[in-house]
Structure 1
Amino acid sequence: MLFFVIFAASDLLAIFDKIAYPDVNSSYYQYAYYLGNSLYVLAYFMLFFKMCQSINFKYVFKNLKVHLFVLIVLDVYLIYVLYAIEQPNLRTNSIYFLENTYNIIILLVLSLSLLNYFYRDNEKSLFLFFGVLCLVFSEVIDIANIYISQSSLLNFLATTLVLGAFYFFYEQSQLSNVSPREDKYYPHLKP
């Protein structure tokens, strides 16, 4: 729930900024940029923290070693690619730090949601993964829209993916966290 509130606050701030302060060179715009992106990072961190609470990491480290290794390699590669795309446009170290923190946290959330699906193997975790996947694709499209080529189609696709993500989050919130497997054979699963 906290994720939705903080994410919505950052989105509302972005909408307000576009209407009230269209000049991107103003000092207010720079302040709003840092505040908005910091709120997004905080929102994703809240989602990450909530998912961490529901996973038995002993089980993950013991039984999902290959999955974990592949996800780490993939995350490092994606962070490198995103950095290569953004790097020519990053003017200050603080923007560099904020953008990299942002990219790292969204990829951590994506990886953790996939591990959560592997761990739980139920419909609720699948919907959570689809929601996070839509959000991450939306963020990657936003990066392409901002740093490569601005396009109304890319903006529309990113917005559609965010709406799809919140649909999946809503659907997963209506489901119980029950595994299709028998609990006596999988005692590591927490309800």
Structure 2
Amino acid sequence: MLIKKIIKVVLLLLGGIYVLLQGFALEVEGDTVGAISFILLTWLYVGWTKHKSKLFLLFLVVFTIAQILGYIAWYRPELKEGQTDYLYYISNILSIASYGLLIIKMLLQLNLKTVFSELAIPVIVLVVLDVFCVSLISSTTESSFNYYEYALEFTYNSVIMALLSMALINYMYRNNNKSMLFLIGSIFIVFSEIMQLAYFYILSDDNSLGYVYSFFLVVAFVFYYMQSQHIVTDPTPAYSDDCIEV
């Protein structure tokens, strides 16, 4: 238990340092701290979580590998003009895959027949909003990418919006603390990714966005870890028709 508490304290300190480094545009140092933090977070989850989820653990592992590759990319030989940045593609594909694992995790836990029968209208509205938001967000950076980079970015944006929508559907279906924590974490993930996109490709001179997106990312994983400590339970009814006994 002492080691668990020490790791939590270290993670909180590293989270604060990560936000400061990204805010000061010290990206190499920030990615170093980020990679170490995710390794420690994965260790914390594996070592001290009673009811582990294989898919959530796989999400942490894949996302951590993506962060490590992002760190390694700073020390590779400089790319010549026309060379393909394979690490960029691999790390982003791994991030997409990690979020996809969370979507699969929720899908496997949902009763899809009940979801579509009770939440058909919200699902349709969310699909329409996802298409609109992804198209709008992706169009702002279209001129910054070549065809393959844009396709990857479009896919990335589509997956994180799908993650948020699934988290909201999961919360409406389950109506419990675990689903609420997961929804809050997903909201912060989406905000973090959007702010990061603006920081690197739209408002690169605005260092304040570095503080914002990194802070949102830290908060998102705090909530993801918190929800991982709760077991999956049956949906909680929003109200009860049972008479109250006096």
TM-score range, shorter chain: 0.7 to 0.9
Q: Give the AA of the match of 2:168.
A: L
Deviation at 1:51, TM superposition (A): 1.0
> Per the alignment, do residues 154 and 25 of structure 1 end up closer, same or farther by CA in structure 2, a change over 3 Å counting?
farther
Q: In structure 2, how many angstroms separate the alpha carbons of the residues matched to 1:22 and 1:175?
A: 44
Larger Rg: 2
Q: In structure 1, how many angstroms separate the alpha carbons of the residues matched to 2:191 and 2:59?
A: 18
In the alignment, which of 103, 113, 119 is matched to residue 157 of structure 2? 103
Deviation at 1:16, TM superposition (A): 2.2
Moved over 2 A (4+): 21-29, 176-182
Deviation at 1:127, TM superposition (A): 0.3
Identity over the aligned pairs, expressed in percent? 32
Structure 1 residues 124-143: aligned runs within 5 Å: 124-143=178-197
> What's the counterpart of residue 212 of structure 2?
157
Deviation at 1:134, TM superposition (A): 0.9
Does residue 51 in structure 1 map to residue 103 in structure 2? no
Q: In structure 2, how many angstroms separate the alpha carbons of the residues matched to 1:107 and 1:24?
A: 32
Report if aligned partners of 1:41, 1:102 keep a CA contact under 8 Å in 2: yes
> Per the alignment, do residues 23 and 82 of structure 1 end up closer, same or farther by CA in structure 2, a change over 3 Å counting?
farther
Q: In structure 2, how many angstroms separate the alpha carbons of the residues matched to 1:79 and 1:140?
A: 10
Q: In structure 2, how many angstroms separate the alpha carbons of the residues matched to 1:74 and 1:142?
A: 21
Q: In structure 1, how many angstroms separate the alpha carbons of the residues matched to 2:164 and 2:172?
A: 13
Report if aligned partners of 1:113, 1:129 keep a CA contact under 8 Å in 2: yes
Q: RMSD value over aligned CA atoms?
A: 2.2
TM-score (norm 2): 0.69
Does residue 7 in structure 1 map to residue 66 in structure 2? no
Deviation at 1:162, TM superposition (A): 1.1
> What's the counterpart of residue 86 of structure 2?
31
Q: How many residues align?
A: 182
> Per the alignment, do residues 148 and 110 of structure 1 end up closer, same or farther by CA in structure 2, a change over 3 Å counting?
same
> Per the alignment, do residues 43 and 26 of structure 1 end up closer, same or farther by CA in structure 2, a change over 3 Å counting?
farther
Structure 1 residues 43-122: aligned runs within 5 Å: 43-91=98-146, 93-122=147-176
Structure 1, unpaired ranges of 5+: 186-191
Deviation at 1:10, TM superposition (A): 0.7
Q: Give the AA of the match of 2:128.
A: V
Report if aligned partners of 1:122, 1:177 keep a CA contact under 8 Å in 2: no
Does residue 174 in structure 1 map to residue 229 in structure 2? yes
